[in-house]
Amino acid sequence: MNAEDTFKAKAPIVIRWLMRDFHLTDFQAAGILGNTGRECLGFTALREIGASPGQGGYGWQQWTGPRAHEFLDYCERNKVDWRSDAGNYGFMKSELSGIYRGCVGAVAKAKTLYDATVSFERSYERAGVPAYADRFRWADMALVAFRTHDAEA
């Protein structure tokens, strides 16, 4: 499966988790997923491409520096593989429920998919290169996959 197919298969599940855990709308949760898709190439690159051993990003959000260590420690403590959905979603949920809870509030105020995508990037990702067009492309893909999947269910 290529990156887009992998993402389209997984995005509806993660959107449902975000909606349940943080009381977001489908498009607000898809805004988060747009960032995730950009960061990890649709769930297919869980290690930063070109990073030397011990350097670069890990996981769905390409956590770096102290957050990378916290992510890996979280996975070890919870006995989950850092490449697993349980490890990645679990750590992201713990951050969004804790130190980064303000990000959820910012995304919950968004009135459009684009605003939710930008809000999450600015409050959680804070990427060196925001690349909003690409993040929005992934967000739109996530929302379409969710709504298509939901209509078929």
Q: What is the DSSP string of the chain?
A: --HHHHHHHHHHHHHHHHHHHH---HHHHHHHHHHHHHHHTTTT--B-TTPPTT-S-BTTTTB-HHHHHHHHHHHHHTT--TTSHHHHHHHHHHHHHTTTHHHHHHHHT--SHHHHHHHHIIIII--SS--HHHHHHHHHHHHHHHHHHHHH-
Structural domains in the chain, sorted by start = 3-152 (1.10.530.10)
pLDDT, tens digit (0-9, with 9 covering 90-100), for 17-68: 999 999 999 999 999 999 999 999 999 999 887 777 777 899 999 999 999 9
pLDDT-derived band of residue 150, with 50, 70 and 90 as boundaries? Answer: low
